[in-house]
Structure 1
Amino acid sequence: MVQADGEMPEPAATPPTGWRRFVPGRPLALAIAAGLVVGALITALIFVIAQRDDSTVDAAGNADPGTAMCPAIPVANQVLPSIVTIAASRGAAAGTGSGQIIKDGGYILTNDHVISVAAGGGTVSVLYSDGHRSDAVIVGRDPSTDLAVLKAADSAKGFPVIGFGSSASVQVGQPVVALGAPLGLASTVTSGIVSALDRYVPVPGDGVTHHLIGAIQTDAAINPGNSGGALVNCAGQLVGVNAAIATVPNEAGVSGGGSVGLGFAIPIDLAKPISDELIRTGEPGHPTTGLQVQEIPPSVAEAAGTPTGLFVLAVDAGGPGEKAGLKAGDIITKVDNAPAVSSEQIVVATLTRKVGDTIELTYLRPGTAAPATTTLTLGAP
């Protein structure tokens, strides 16, 4: 099932459309890796595992090929001063998560689901690695990609900005280190490898689906409270923002709440430009198609004698969709030459592109015998 970590588990639900099962016959449940973590949860025993410190690191932050793990001691010493533990609350609702200082002046990158509880009148604070705390404000949010930026009231004076790497240089099998505050336990460090790349992980949240696009999969232990924290390479450079974990339901069908070695991080090459725009304008600035679409289930398509695809509910007047020649009632059958099976294809297309980029759409208009193809140019939001 999908749940916010720290909440009481509910009966298992069907995995969301588009989620790939990782163990044949055994459904995995996504769990947001920060969630609402209450004090009673902080009863877990912590086992500190010694890390070897005898590897070398190349310019891309990769460890020597003969070394299985990053030199975690110097990585921890370098990166932990840039990591914060985040507390967000509004009324009786509260949650904790992690973040990292990404720009001078106290700008902190985290997940939207970490601080969403405080949006619209709540409070946010950050705890630094040396134990002192500062109030913070929400600079901007992007629920679609599950990213948000905070600004510490004390400008994070005396604490370093985290170094940036490139997720494009990350390789499967590469050692990585995760830093954050699982279960509210600040300055926790775990290590592992990159298990896979370019995962698409839709994570249902409070009234919104978070789209983890091109996510980095890792077996480094990520638990509730790690969300928003750093995934770094062996040079201590940020390559991903930890965001979600997959868990295996127990015999009663209830999702477990801890790491099973399937964690997912938002690649920094996607997160960095979004965070820059949030700092600059307070908005993510994603382009728009000017379309409202809805999936046509196969059973409905069969009964109506129409193809499966995306039914165009509405087209914004003067928007990109209208300029591309689309009308309400059209059925989109392909998106960039791929079969149109989910409205999320349109969302993902806008999240990974900028204003002026194009999408190729194939559609069928009622009363016509053959489909047509058009190029839609994405417009400003």
Structure 2
Amino acid sequence: MKLLKDILYGVRLKDVTGSTAIEVGQVHFDSRKVAGNDLFVAVKGGTVDGHTFIEKVIEAGAIAIVCEEIPKKLHDNVTYVQVDNSKNALAVIASNFHDNPSKNLKLIGVTGTNGKTTVSTLLYDLFKKAGYKVGLISTIKIMVDNQRHDTTHTTPDPMTINHYLSLMAEEGVEFCFMEVSSHGLDQQRTAGLHFKGAIFTNLSHDHLDYHKDFSTYRDTKKRLFDDLERSAFALSNADDKNGLFMLQNTRAKKYTYALKTFADYKAQIMERQFDGQLLKVDENDLWTKLIGDFNAYNVLAIYATAHILGLEKIEILRLLSELETVDGRFQYFISKQRITAIVDYAHTPDALKNVLDSIHALRTGNENVITVVGCGGERDKSKRPVMGHIASELSNKAIFT
């Protein structure tokens, strides 16, 4: 049980009707989960408005409501808290309810169109190999040190995020690496979190069904860096045309990485093979099992982050050489007939082009490249013809599902 006034700390309040000196059992934004003595946060979603369920949750036993619009019918035994933005309020409340767990570990956010899963997952793997207790919140899974939990969203809802961060803090986790999507930032899911650092991978065509235009998509990503505290760090890909833009207004310590331009952390591709590639990183040789130019950027981002967080460069290089490819990210298989199959998430035009360009850089010239690709779901339809063109141009055969 938590006092309502305590979990409202830091929430921008417009009006309060009733007492905040009451004890709340649980916090919910899903009306179906509400029970006696709970707090319900009415959130306006894309298809459903939580405000329409206020009467229902009061009947179920809710004793406090956080909402943007105070209902006309009020109950004497219920406290109503009016806010400007319920999504923001939910995130701050979720953090307070779980005793602000992000303050008790080093939370590092990873954002960008491509590379988030690879960078965050391999940072988790690297720090585990280095002997630390580590957490991971990614598209594929949530890890509380060695305990695996399934996930359905790149950036989960605020209650889920803080629940797992709380478990991590209880387990003594020192570092947590978290994918931060543009949807999550726009919907305020990360509000109330205290990031010790943020990494920008790259930016290209994606989610324009949601954000409507590229500048809005870009500016949404930038929020992660704008909100960092002075004690945090901001690491950005200087080869990406939006890399320096991400750092413009941050208060955090700025770092850059690049293969082509001047940067704090530099790398060069020396040799490419199907079982890995040789990189020159800060004048040291590194053999990595991660294939493709795009993965050279991912490896460099991991290297830079680990160094910023205090690991020795030689130790980082040793650990990087041991890391395996992330499932579904340029994961290759060779059949008995010597046919090479490559599985990659490649859900954007840029990602698909990167994968096919990497294959062409490795092939001897005699192989047929057969690409099987789809852009299903009710997502950004504008990228479908672009990806179709890329697959057709860079493949001997293209199959569209």
| Structure with the largest fraction of helix | 2
User: Greater Rg, structure 1 or structure 2?
Assistant: 2
Question: What TM-score, normalized to structure 2?
Answer: 0.28
Question: What TM-score, normalized to structure 1?
Answer: 0.29
